[in-house]
């Protein structure tokens, strides 16, 4: 399956320490600004699908789900703390000018 880049928003919309959810072709994707480094992750916790952007807490590159406390590394999607078991999908992200582009497919 091929991937394509989708423009999801402007860099200024996601400030350092923020997570903002975007609907990218029906997929809930959170753009994360971890102290100036941008990442794109699934916005749905792999435990019970809570929104990480809405309810989670970001510290550095670690997001803690607000529902039951699972933790993920936003750079890799790796689970750092239960109850989640499955890693979080991550998406390649590029900044072009002041546009955020996320690769989906
Ligand atoms: S839904 Fe995220 S930890 Fe349960």
- Is ligand 1 within 6 A of the CB of residue 55? no
Enclosing H/E stretch for 54: helix 52-55
Local confidence band at 1 (pLDDT 50, 70, 90 cut-offs) = low
At 18 the pLDDT is 96
The string of pLDDT tens digits covering residues 34-77 is: 999 999 999 999 999 999 999 999 999 999 999 999 999 999 99
Share of the chain residues as helix, strand and coil, in percent rounded to the nearest 5: 5, 50, 45
**Residue nearest ligand 1's atom 1 by CA:** 48
Out of 43, 57, 62, 70, mutate this one to test ligand 1's pocket (max ligand atoms within 8 Å of CB): namely 70
Helices (H) and strands (E) in the chain, counts: 1, 11
- What's residue 48's pLDDT? 98
Q: Which residues contact 97 (CB under 8 A, 6 or more apart)?
A: none
Q: CB–CB of 73/37 below 8 Å?
A: no
pLDDT, mean over the chain: 95
Residue 17 has pLDDT above 90, yes or no: yes
């Amino acid at each position: 399956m091929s991937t394509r880049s989708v423009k999801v928003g402007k860099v200024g919309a996601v400030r350092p320490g923020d997570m903002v959810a975007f609907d990218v072709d029906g997929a809930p994707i959170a753009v994360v600004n971890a102290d100036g480094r941008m990442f794109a992750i699934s916005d749905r916790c792999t435990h019970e699908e809570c929104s990480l952007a809405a309810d989670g807490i970001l510290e550095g590159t670690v997001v803690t789900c607000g529902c039951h406390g699972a933790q993920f590394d936003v750079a890799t999607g790796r689970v750092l703390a239960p109850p989640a078991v499955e890693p979080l999908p991550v998406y390649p992200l590029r900044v072009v000018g002041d546009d955020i582009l996320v690769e989906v497919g």
